[in-house]
Amino acid sequence: MSSESENILKKIWQEAVQIGRPLRFMELCGTHSQTIAANGLKSLMPRNIKLIAGPGCPVCVTDQSDVDVMVGLALGGIPIAVYGDAVNVPGNIMSLEQARQKGADVNIVYSVEEAMRLKNSNPGLVFFGLGFETTAPMTAWAVKNGLVVYSAHKIFPPAMAVLMANKKIKVNGFINPGHVSAIIGTEIYKKFKIPQVIAGFEGLDILRAINLLLEQILSGKAEVSNEYTRVVRKNGNAKAQKLIEDVFEIGDAKWRGLGLIKKSGLKIRKKYQKQDAEFIYKDLIKKIKAEIKSKPSACQCGRVLQGMIEPRECPLFGKICTPDNPQGACMVSVEGSCNIEYRYGKK
């Protein structure tokens, strides 16, 4: 451990003693959860500080019904391109990977540009657009350049509002996502009256963020600190915001586990409807949606995503639900809380 980390950790312990009462800090980015686990940060915390993961993994919060639509399109003979993180996410019927095994044309891509190249040999290709403000500008760019997209994109701040309104979730401070904030900036978070720190992705960044949260609590403040100044600017990335605004309009969206959140989704604007799979295949999608039957499952992904329970408190964890046989999205993505706990937790 570097001497800077040691110094910050020392400060964290002193401040925690000074505050005394139990504190719960929620990290809002899956990559933060990964950093916390990989560096064993939970075990370094004073007893009264608990770090809990929030709904910050975009793959995990993608709703079953969106996966069902993509699976339905794929099985209907339409070629699909999807980010690798999302291909194993189960819908109500199956995942896109399972559809691929049944002969559907499902292609994993690393970027929308790869999807654009695939489109040349697969003219009917549909890209499964998902993610928060970090990936939305890339999808917007691709739509403007002719890619056909089914958008399950979401914006992050409305989910924070839902978490804060839920009295069952006790959080004393948020560690806000780094690269989402690179796009949207720092000002938008000011409406949330709770200590918040925008953080980078190294172990040291997270320690600094925890220290800043404790300093705010000690001085009775509830503001937005920016620890990730090397990337995040006050007003964010204006070019990226403009692209999102041009291509998408805000609509309601379903989040896995959190349910319908008003004005939290990005839908393709009418002027780009020739690139909107929801418009092009509206009859087929209507038919797919009519046939969806919610599969009853004991999967607790929704409560895990809100920090209401720990992954191990789910009855399926490690028994029938493992990374090789995931029952819910939290076990699929390497940034999902259950997947992380399975890999890094005490065996």
Partner 1 sequence: MCLAIPGKIIEIKKNQQATADFNGIEKEINISLVEVKKGDYVIVHAGFAIEKIGKADAESIKSLIK
Q: Do 59 and 336 meet the contact criterion of CB atoms below 8 Å apart?
A: yes
Question: Should residue 85 be labelled a site residue for partner 1 when binding is judged by CB under 8 A?
Answer: yes
Report the nearest approach of partner 1 to the CB of residue 32 (Å). Answer: 9
Question: Should residue 31 be labelled a site residue for partner 1 when binding is judged by CB under 8 A?
Answer: yes
Nearer to partner 1, 155 or 280 (CB): 155
Distance CA 346, CA 292 (A): 38
Question: Should residue 183 be labelled a site residue for partner 1 when binding is judged by CB under 8 A?
Answer: yes
How many other C-beta atoms lie within 10 A of the C-beta of residue 271? 9
Question: Should residue 210 be labelled a site residue for partner 1 when binding is judged by CB under 8 A?
Answer: no
Closest C-alpha among 315, 294, 265 to residue 64? 294
Q: Do 184 and 231 meet the contact criterion of CB atoms below 8 Å apart?
A: no
Question: Should residue 335 be labelled a site residue for partner 1 when binding is judged by CB under 8 A?
Answer: yes
Segment 215-274, which members bind partner 1 (CB under 8 A)? Answer: 230-233, 237, 239-240, 243
Report the nearest approach of partner 1 to the CB of residue 20 (Å). Answer: 33
Strand partners, 195: none
Q: Do 36 and 51 meet the contact criterion of CB atoms below 8 Å apart?
A: yes
H or E segment at 9?
A: helix 3-19
Question: Should residue 112 be labelled a site residue for partner 1 when binding is judged by CB under 8 A?
Answer: yes
Segment 11-30, which members bind partner 1 (CB under 8 A)? Answer: 29-30
**Main-chain dihedrals φ then ψ at residue 241, nearest 5 degrees:** -60, -40
Nearer to partner 1, 114 or 223 (CB): 114
Question: Should residue 160 be labelled a site residue for partner 1 when binding is judged by CB under 8 A?
Answer: no
Q: Do 89 and 67 meet the contact criterion of CB atoms below 8 Å apart?
A: yes
Interstrand relation of 106-109 and 148-151 (parallel, antiparallel or unpaired) = unpaired
Question: Should residue 156 be labelled a site residue for partner 1 when binding is judged by CB under 8 A?
Answer: no
Question: Should residue 117 be labelled a site residue for partner 1 when binding is judged by CB under 8 A?
Answer: no
Question: Should residue 179 be labelled a site residue for partner 1 when binding is judged by CB under 8 A?
Answer: yes
Tokens of 138: 């890339």
Question: CB-based contacts of 23: which residues, under 8 Å, 6+ apart?
Answer: 16, 48, 49, 50, 172, 173, 214, 217
Question: Should residue 178 be labelled a site residue for partner 1 when binding is judged by CB under 8 A?
Answer: yes
Distance CA 113, CA 96 (A): 20
Report the nearest approach of partner 1 to the CB of residue 47 (Å). Answer: 29
Segment 185-204, which members bind partner 1 (CB under 8 A)? Answer: 201-202, 204
Distance CA 276, CA 317 (A): 37
Report the nearest approach of partner 1 to the CB of residue 236 (Å). Answer: 9
Question: Should residue 333 be labelled a site residue for partner 1 when binding is judged by CB under 8 A?
Answer: yes
Nearer to partner 1, 186 or 216 (CB): 186
Please report, as ranges, the residues that interact with partner 1 according to CB under 8 A: 29-31, 57-59, 83, 85, 110-114, 131-132, 134-135, 137-138, 141, 177-180, 182-183, 201-202, 204, 230-233, 237, 239-240, 243, 333, 335
